[in-house]
Amino acid sequence: MALLNALIVTVLVVAAALAVTAALCIDVEQLRRTRAEIDDRVGDLAPYVAATAAFFLAKRATHGHSIRISKALDWDITDGLYAIEGLFVAHLQDLTPNATYDFFSVMYMFGFPFLLVFPLVAYFLLPSGRHLKELLMSYLLNYFIGTLCYTLFIARGPRVRVSDAVAEPMYELYPSTQDLTAAVSSNTNVFPSLHTSLAVAVAIMAWRSREEYPQWFKIATFVATCVVLSTMILGIHWLLDVVAGLLLAIVSVRGASRIVDWGERKRTGTNERIEGGAPTGTDD
């Protein structure tokens, strides 16, 4: 019941945030144009949506195998992370006012899914599907590389490894959130931080689409920064997890761009590099 309640609250809060952000960033003309062109847009995006869906279905189907492989390998890097980093997270918590724990808990639990969902809607409303294609591929690459790392390496966060020095304020303030996070990910899956990599990937994509959505760029940058900080302030991730997540974000966005370039060249039969957000046609 606690898990269901936490899930319902998350859905309601994220839905409210999506509605407010849509009112700020999306105009009625975009909705009208999308309605008129929806068949063409769906057809254009179909291969990328299918690839993303197939990956997540395969990930779900092989989850048990990944856990067994991870246990068999038993490559626990937790002590190595602690040896390199020490008590950085504990010192960061000491510098963080207790009054902000509620805010960072909200960013971690609600800001993160909001950050992932809104650009899917916003980019679908653009005339060019380029941004949405790149976003989908960056999500796929983030989870593919992240899952590979989680399979190879066992890593526990600072709240587990040095529980005497690092607090877990979100779980202390809102115990039901632990049921929801446990249902999504194991506490041995901390290196790299996917909260960081996905949040930063969205922020990079928001920068790329800043001409189309200037307000979204500001919102995404703020929320992504808060999400990244929350992973450490709440004791969930090491600084090294976050650094690895930042690198993964850059790799995933660049890789996504190359994948979309390749896919579009294959579909159009041209060797020209397709620039972000630009039409794929030739001379008028």
Task: Give the confidence band of 115 by pLDDT, cuts at 50, 70, 90.
Answer: very high
Residue 281 located in a structural domain: no
Task: Give the confidence band of 6 by pLDDT, cuts at 50, 70, 90.
Answer: confident
Task: Give the confidence band of 47 by pLDDT, cuts at 50, 70, 90.
Answer: very high
Please count the other Cβ atoms lying within 10 Å of the Cβ belonging to residue 177.
20
Q: Is the pLDDT of residue 265 over 90?
A: no
Residue 274 located in a structural domain: no
Structure tokens at 65: 């195998």
Task: Give the confidence band of 17 by pLDDT, cuts at 50, 70, 90.
Answer: very high
Task: Give the confidence band of 1 by pLDDT, cuts at 50, 70, 90.
Answer: low
pLDDT tens sequence across 83-93: 999 999 999 99
Please give the residue range of the domain that contains residue 189. Answer: 2-268
- For residue 183, the model assigns a pLDDT of 63
How far, in Å, are 17, 26, 148 from residue 118 at the CA level?
A: 9, 11, 27
pLDDT tens sequence across 125-162: 998 889 999 999 999 999 999 999 999 999 999 999 99
DSSP state of 128: S
Average pLDDT of span 92-118: 94
Q: Is the pLDDT of residue 250 over 60?
A: yes
Task: Give the confidence band of 182 by pLDDT, cuts at 50, 70, 90.
Answer: low
Residue 204 located in a structural domain: yes
- For residue 24, the model assigns a pLDDT of 92
Q: What does the alpha-carbon distance between residue 67 and residue 73 come to, in Å, rounded to a whole number? A: 10
Q: Which helix (H) or strand (E) holds 204?
A: helix 194-208
- For residue 267, the model assigns a pLDDT of 79
Q: What does the alpha-carbon distance between residue 211 and residue 182 come to, in Å, rounded to a whole number? A: 38
Tally of domains in the chain: 1
Task: Give the confidence band of 170 by pLDDT, cuts at 50, 70, 90.
Answer: confident
Burial of 87 (0-12, 13-18, 19+ CB in 10 A): middle
Task: Give the confidence band of 173 by pLDDT, cuts at 50, 70, 90.
Answer: confident
Q: What does the alpha-carbon distance between residue 56 and residue 15 come to, in Å, rounded to a whole number? A: 23
- For residue 29, the model assigns a pLDDT of 87
What pTM was estimated for this model as a whole? 0.88
